[in-house]
Structure 1
């Protein structure tokens, strides 16, 4: 935007200026206006604009907190039965998530809810998997 060839509209503006005012625009005629726009947009983005962007979801528990109860996203909680083939395995070693196209967000059981290190946590009978 700072030069005559900086944007597509600068060339027609120079042509119109040459035809109507007999003053074609020089290569850096738009530099001052372009710098003002650049400065204004930069200040806006640094002060107000970034607050308009949505928050990023960075962790599994944030998915649970953000989307819990929403109509368009449903959670399923399954309990690992005593005869399950998942017992003794980890999510990393099993093909559970790939086979059922599911994402495990948390383990419930053992007196607590586990959100971290899900791939390394050994699955036991009676554990609930939040999908």
Structure 2
């Protein structure tokens, strides 16, 4: 008789564990993938900030131009595996740009093209960073 009672208790415990798993597993999986997407978004924002800063430094350096700065920004995007990143330098910097001119650089990264498989969390968003430096 005790064998049957132990079997019943064991069966009930397994059923309870199955129900707990059915409830908790989707929640845990959602939390894990949400954390991964949030970490990727933070990484993309940091990359946009770094690219904007580096491009601004290259553009405002003595002898720097918009084209040389843009090529540096493009290589930074490539080295970080960023797809579809864009850089805007305003006003255009040439050798004739006067010292002391404020140069605004904006780097933008589309999240959809650079996200993991779960892009619907940040669907349609573009992360951008803006840096203003004076031409030397």
TM-score by length of 1: 0.33
Which structure's relative contact order is higher, taking Cα pairs within 8 Å and 6+ residues apart? 2
Give the alignment's TM-score, normalised by structure 2: 0.32
Higher share in helix: 2
Greater CA radius of gyration, 1 or 2? Answer: 1
